[in-house]
Amino acid sequence: MASPGKVAPPPAPEQPVAAAEAPWVSEVRPFDFLDVETKAKELSKQSYRRDDSGMPESLLKLDYDQYRDIRYKTEKSIWRDEGLPFQVQAFHRGFMFKDRVIVNLIDHGSSARVGYSPDLFDYGRNRFEVPLPEDLGFAGLRFHYPLKRDETFDEIAVFLGASYFRAVGLGQAYGLSARGLAIDTGLPKAEEFPIFREFWVEKPDKDANALIVYALLDSPSVAAAYRFVLRPGLDLAMDVQSHFYFRKKVERLGIAPLTSMFMQGENTDRFMDDFRPEVHDSDGLLIGKSTGEWLWRPLNNPKQLRISVFKDAKPSGFGLMSRDRNFDHYQDLEAGYHLRPSAWVEPMGDWGAGGIYLIEIPSDAEKYDNIVAFWVPDEPTGEGKELRYDYRLHFVTNEFTAPSGGKVVSTRVGSIGGKTSRRKFVVDFTSPMLKLMSPKAKVEAEVSAVGKITDVVVQKNEAQGTWRLSFDLEPEKGRNPTELRAILKSGKDILTESWVYQWNTP
């Protein structure tokens, strides 16, 4: 293999090429999504085999900090010396990232594999007694684009670990993750984690504002083909095409899964020994229903596993959102929780009937992603079955999808006098229209729950221009959890999205 940075002789289409070189390939038929689909379909007819072998013990024993000390050399970035708007770097295998990921570049309509070389990486303080194997392969990819200045390439997306990937827009900090697919998440059995085992990255034109990436996903139950179109900017949009080929039936298939972290927030009603008032990547699940109704479900760190299901057909979208952008509410100078993006899933085409699942897992540390949301179709799966789902992912700072009506900005829960099951709920709403309304305006609340609702009060907070709903709940004995729902209205006019909440009596 030629040394990175030098011009290599023309390789055959399947021959690895050095990562820092622009691959030369002979003229063959154009590479497109059909090639990945064909490969996935053929793979689904074979027994599942995981490619996690060939890693030296020295790489397996790396801890988190040691692994982070291995960095792809910036000067070796793919396309760095070609004046293109995008650059690509690879991740080294090691630590918990054991699976070998194959990386290919598409140029002049043909695909050529990128060859691994230790020369591509700076290993920092790590020292290995035995030389690393030349066929080690990679663990994932990261992509760069000049968001701020033409000469500075900012990281915009990372594909690393199973089928996880993250992305950011201008001024955002990495937070929640997306996944290619979720299988059996939240069931009383082991979750299946599909793996992106191969990528193809299409070389962009000099004036391109989008990058096309293809991926092959594999797991014991399904093989799949993906096509991603990354569009960086103030926010990052990502078009996703996915085609699934099933080896066997899947009990719970999660389409367009989002994974986030919620440790504590304004609605946490138990003591958390932390100097920070709030610790979370996202603070709510937003759903645009096919009926035109918008739901806001505040997230929580429950004491026991919670699963909420929102049935629908042809929803306009769903997302794990971060609405609280006030640094004072987090007080974390390192994590930058106030800068972490929301992620919105916009279905493309007819997804049919199904449900949006929200799974909240008890957590005692912010390093764990304990929140998962995804779409579960009613369409059955099984051996030989094929399904297609297309959607657009938006990594955004401010919401752009929800209507201009009132939005929930905070939810607070507290006890009412001593040892009692009664709870007080305080929900704040805001919108430009609500801010302009007089405190004397006739604004009422419609609150429903299985249980006794009392002391319903709606009033304007003139200090902030928001409207506050407060009420007391006496849960029905023997019924747990309690589902709550509330809106603000004026006469027949609905002023806000629907606030929905699940309360579990301790």
191/285 same-domain check: yes
Strand partners, 159: 141, 165
What does the pLDDT read at residue 146?
Answer: 97
Judged by DSSP in three states, 478 sits in coil
320/465 same-domain check: no
Are the C-beta atoms of residues 217 and 180 closer than 8 Å to each other?
yes
CA 249/CA 40 separation, integer angstroms: 17
- Residue 33: closest CA among 241, 205, 282, 290: 241
CA 168/CA 190 separation, integer angstroms: 31
396, 428, 454 - which closes a domain:
396
383/474 same-domain check: no
- Residue 202: closest CA among 215, 186, 219: 215
Handedness of CA 332, 335, 337, 338 (dihedral sign): positive
CA 452/CA 235 separation, integer angstroms: 44
249/273 same-domain check: yes
Enclosing domain of residue 481: 407-503
Domain count, the chain: 2
In 3-state terms, the chain is what percent helix, strand and coil (to 5)?
A: 10, 45, 50
What does the pLDDT read at residue 3?
Answer: 34
227/376 same-domain check: yes
379/483 same-domain check: no
- Residue 203: closest CA among 195, 211, 214, 191: 211
377, 396, 415 - which closes a domain:
396
pLDDT tens for the chain, residues 1 to 506: 333 333 333 333 344 444 444 333 333 447 889 999 999 999 999 999 999 988 999 999 999 999 999 999 999 999 999 999 999 999 999 999 999 999 999 998 889 999 999 999 999 999 998 899 988 999 999 999 999 988 899 999 999 999 999 999 999 999 999 999 999 999 999 999 999 999 999 999 999 999 999 999 999 999 999 999 999 999 999 999 999 999 999 999 999 999 999 999 999 888 889 999 999 999 999 999 999 999 999 999 999 999 999 999 999 999 999 999 999 999 999 999 999 999 999 999 999 999 999 999 999 999 999 999 999 999 999 999 999 999 999 999 988 766 678 999 999 999 887 767 889 999 999 999 999 999 999 999 999 998 899 999 999 999 999 999 999 999 988 788 899 999 999 999 999 999 999 988 77
Q: Is residue 296 part of a domain?
A: yes
CB atoms within 10 A of CB 305: 12
Q: Is residue 344 part of a domain?
A: yes
386/450 same-domain check: no
Strand partners, 295: 287, 498
Q: Write the CATH number for 416.
A: 2.60.40.10
Q: Is residue 111 part of a domain?
A: no
Tell me which residue has tokens 């079955």. 385
Judged by DSSP in three states, 82 sits in helix
Q: Is residue 118 part of a domain?
A: no
Q: Write the CATH number for 319.
A: 2.70.98.10
352/385 same-domain check: yes
Buried b / exposed e across 127-158, counting CB within 10 Å, b at 16+? eeeeebeeebbbbbbbbbbebeeeeebebbbb
Question: Which amino acid is it at 232?
Answer: P
372/449 same-domain check: no
CA 103/CA 200 separation, integer angstroms: 6
Q: Is residue 323 part of a domain?
A: yes
431/472 same-domain check: yes
Q: List C-alpha distances in Å: 130 to 55, 59, 78, 230.
A: 12, 11, 28, 39
Q: Is residue 32 part of a domain?
A: no
Beta strand 279-280 with 102-107 is: unpaired
367, 396, 425 - which closes a domain:
396
Is residue 264 within a helix (H) or strand (E), and if so which, with residue range? strand 262-264
Q: Which two tokens stand for residue 194?
A: 């599909």
Tell me which residue has tokens 């955002």. 172
- Residue 442: closest CA among 429, 460, 427: 460
∠164-167-171 over CA atoms, to 5°? 150
CA 226/CA 214 separation, integer angstroms: 6
Q: Is residue 308 part of a domain?
A: yes
Q: Is residue 257 part of a domain?
A: yes
**Ramachandran quadrant class, 336 (left: phi over 0; alpha: psi -120 to 50; beta: rest):** left
349/440 same-domain check: no
CB atoms within 10 A of CB 61: 10
CB atoms within 10 A of CB 326: 11
467/444 same-domain check: yes
